[in-house]
Chains A and B, each alone.
Chain A
Amino acid sequence: MLTFLATNANQLILATEELGEINDGGLLASLAWLIPVVPMVAAFAIVFFGRRLPHKGWELAMGAMGFVGLYGILLAFATMNGEITYEGAISMGEFGPIVLEWGWMVDGLSSMMYFVVGVVGSLVFIYAKSYMAGDIRFTWFFASFSLFAGGMLVLVAAPNLIQLIVGWELVGVASYLLIGHYWEDHDNSSAAIKAFLVNKVADVGLFLGVIIIGTTAGTFRFSEILAQVAAGENDLLKKFAFLGGLALFIAAMGKSAQFPLHVWLPDAMAGPTPVSALMHAATMVTAGVYLLGRTFPLYFVEGYAVDVRPIIMIVGALTLFLTGLIALVQTDLKKVLAYSTLSQLGYMVAAMGAGAYTAALFHLFTHAFFKGLLFLAAGSVIHSVHSNEMTDMGGLRKYMPTTYKTFVIGSLALAGIFPLAGFWSKDEILVAFGKASGGAANFALYLGIAGAFITALYMSRAVYLTFFGEFKGHGTPHESPKMITVPLVVLAGFSLVAGLINMPGFSSWFTELTAVRFTVMGDYHPKAINFGMAAAGLSAALLGILIGYVLWSKDAETQAARDKFRIPLLYPLLERKYYIDDLYMDGIVRPLRGPVARAVDWFNGHVIDLFVNGAGALAKFVGKYVYRFDQSGLDSAIIASAAATGAGGSVLRLLQSGRVQQYAVMIFAGTVVLVAGFIIF
């Protein structure tokens, strides 16, 4: 076995040398494998040594995340300047013609993701140290948290579809651990299971998509698949591209929580707030958008999965609109933010469908900052008032000035108010909808503008109910410590300026960065501001804020204010979340777990075993008579023959029992024997 491992070690080095296609980047890119590996190693190290360290393992997690953040910043700038496209791979085993590889990838898209995950992740980790202090499973939390970030980085670094599955599911299992962090409560573990299972349903799509695309393309590497796509080769791939692309989109629908697979995300609020912040901002939910971005040419080049694009646009548009409406009726501050994330994910996905690769990723980028900010600020509020319900808040502006200011910045950015980050990215998406042709794009455009209005409305509602009016909770709230407010301020800074790096006419850094790929990506960055679309989006948002002001600012009695909004029919529909959860539980999960499962179990014990045990019973029964025949029949054959006449009479008499069913037996048996005789002779 040792020699076996040694030969393999040689192969590894050879494989790296052969496969590594170094365009640029040198050591910086070839060492990028550290990015996913360091947090994964940190996760295991925390499990084993965490408790013995002075900060109970936090320092390991923070160190790993800080490293990723710094490396991410470095790579992002290096890639922007040097256009690094690098792909490293180590072969991990052969299955017939298929070679499995672990690898890592450095290009514009992955550098951008490393940057986002690393920077937002580091800030969340700093925040979590203070937020989670005193938690019963502090160490375990940071182990899972590192696994979460590490899984996401494995996914982002993946140069092939199989490793993508690995990262994809690692993120899923880490989210399961984190959502169920307080597993003493049955609801929390149920929410964790829900998240895992809904994702697993979507993973069926991922499995099938990967199998279809990988098998028909003959390779699992993105660079080779997309090269085939770009060259318009491979008729087999063309034939299956629609199915494969659709399956991959179903996978993206699961992780990026698109309607109707969005149900797990609001429940995922059961986890601690830093988890929500990281999950919604940088990891997990961005995975679906990332996947669409990674395989973008497959959906865009004529002859492949082009027909999936209307479906993507419609699903994304429906998500952004329907989930935005639900956010209007939530009373839990975190749930409002959760539904707003769903809505923003809808924008990103629909933008991918409209062919706006850059715009979708740009929205992902800016959204990471302001949504991370909003969640952390919400966490700060919750930490201070010890409740998630907005009915227990109000008037916090006076008590928590820093949190208030940063939250408002985040809200304005999310609502898309000029000149904050969200304005620029949302505007680009609306422009993309406008430019794309077809009914689906128009549908997305209308819902997109309506969504901008709804976004502004529910965010102003959240701001007014939380920070204005009178405080309605218990005790005296107070501003959070520095370790919590500093990440807020930093993220607020990003939310203010992040939009400028792709401002039309000013800069196209982001466009250039994400265009650095093995395959040439189209550049959809508008050269100048489209004033019409900007005005439409901005005025929808301002209208939303205005109506929010009218509805919620003056009236401090929030309950009464909400009552005004209770439109008949629509309100119950929204409150029950369109009954989708009920449909899944009562229509699918409960029947499967209950009657169906029991029926199968019964079938197993009573039908299949009927034959098994029946054969046993029959054998015993026959045996009994054979034995009786042996004992009394053969041994007393002579006596029997002597008494044959008398016995014959009494035996025949027995036949005349008077019981109908015995006669029936004879009739049927006689029929069988006679007919068989006729047929045979």
Chain B
Amino acid sequence: MSFGDWIGQLENWVFAVLAFGTLAGAILVVHSRNVIHAALGLVLTLGSLAGLFLLLGAEFVAWTLVMVYIGAVIVLFLFGIMITRAPLGYEIDLSHPTSVKVTAAIVAGSLFALIGWAFLDAFEAVEFAAVDGPTRTADIGISMFTNYVIPFEVMSFLLLAALIGGIVLARQDPEEADE
């Protein structure tokens, strides 16, 4: 498939826009010197990811992502930021000095090169199988509660544990509170 053909498809333009949003948000997350901006960058990334899911036809996952992440997790983050009194303006202390950054960049870059090369090698120009519409939510539900019911139960147990753990960890000791 030549570049000209590729660019001629509308969904690829949509993809390009969303991919740009994803990457821009991700860069903001890892590079911003402002905590709030970083959190908002995550919103942008996840929002664009949700868009990509829609593009792929995974509607249920997309909306779950929007609700759970953008709705709940980000709020939690913002709470965390406020409570830990992270400065809301610009701050230089959020990242390590440049030398550490370069090391990190080398590691991350080589990781990317490795994965990217593996993908390119494996899939070359494979296109998506003929699409007959998005995945129905009902199918997902049926599959989840028949074939994957045990993982589902394990998952619910894990969530319970996390709930209790969170409360135990974050709860202030009565004695400390008194002081």
Residues on A lying within 8 angstroms of B by beta carbon are: 607, 614, 617-618, 621, 661, 665, 668-669, 671-672, 675-676, 679
Contact = CB atoms under 8 A, between A and B. Distances in A.
B99 A672 contact: no
A680 B46 CA distance: 34
Given A665-B103, A672-B107, A672-B114, 13 more contacts: A617-B98, A617-B102, A618-B102, A621-B99, A621-B102, A661-B100, A668-B108, A669-B107, A671-B111, A672-B110, A672-B111, A676-B114, A679-B118
Contacts of B118: 679
A679 B114 CA distance: 10
A499 B108 CA distance: 81
Contacts of B111: 668, 671-672
B131 to A, nearest CB: 31
Interface in B98-156: 98-100, 102-105, 107-108, 110-111, 114, 118
Interface of B: 27, 96, 98-100, 102-105, 107-108, 110-111, 114, 118
A207 to B, nearest CB: 24
A669 B106 CA distance: 9
For the residues of B in contact with A, the DSSP-based class is helix
A135 B107 CA distance: 72
A665 B104 contact: yes
Contacts of A676: 114
A252 to B, nearest CB: 32
25 contacts: A607-B27, A614-B105, A617-B98, A617-B102, A618-B102, A621-B99, A621-B102, A661-B96, A661-B100, A665-B103, A665-B104, A665-B107, A668-B107, A668-B108, A668-B111, A669-B107, A669-B110, A671-B111, A672-B107, A672-B110, A672-B111, A672-B114, A675-B114, A676-B114, A679-B118
A562 B114 CA distance: 76
A607 to B, nearest CB: 8
Contacts, number: 25
Contacts of A671: 111
Contacts of A621: 99, 102
Nearest to B118: A679
A668 B115 CA distance: 12
Nearest to B104: A665
A671 B113 CA distance: 13
A661 B96 CA distance: 11
Contacts of A675: 114
A617 B110 CA distance: 18
A435 to B, nearest CB: 43
A212 to B, nearest CB: 21
B143 to A, nearest CB: 31
Contacts of A607: 27
A666 to B, nearest CB: 9
Contacts of A661: 96, 100
Nearest to B102: A621
Nearest to B113: A672
A618 B103 CA distance: 10
A43 to B, nearest CB: 47
A613 to B, nearest CB: 11
B40 to A, nearest CB: 15
A668 B27 CA distance: 20
B109 to A, nearest CB: 10
A679 B119 CA distance: 12
Contacts of B110: 669, 672
Nearest to B103: A665
Contacts of B114: 672, 675-676
B105 to A, nearest CB: 8
A668 B100 CA distance: 15
B89 to A, nearest CB: 18
Contacts of A669: 107, 110
A668 B105 CA distance: 12
A196 B108 CA distance: 51
Nearest to A618: B102
A621 B107 CA distance: 15
A39 to B, nearest CB: 49
Contacts of B98: 617
Nearest to A675: B114
A618 B105 CA distance: 10
A540 B42 CA distance: 63
A671 B96 CA distance: 23
A125 B107 CA distance: 76
Contacts of B104: 665
Which one of A614, A669, A672 has the highest number of Cβ atoms from chain B below 10 Å of its Cβ? Answer: A672
Contacts of B105: 614
A668 B108 CA distance: 8
B129 to A, nearest CB: 26
A627 to B, nearest CB: 15
A668 B104 CA distance: 10
Contacts of B103: 665
Contacts of B27: 607
Nearest to A621: B102
A662 to B, nearest CB: 9
A604 to B, nearest CB: 14
B170 to A, nearest CB: 21
A300 B138 CA distance: 57
Contacts of B96: 661
A669 B109 CA distance: 10
Contacts of B102: 617-618, 621
Nearest to A607: B27
B26 to A, nearest CB: 13
Nearest to A670: B107
A-B pairs with the 4 shortest C-beta distances? A668-B107, A672-B110, A669-B107, A672-B111
A664 to B, nearest CB: 9
A122 B97 CA distance: 75
Contacts of B100: 661
B16 to A, nearest CB: 16
A675 to B, nearest CB: 6
Nearest to A622: B102
Nearest to B99: A621
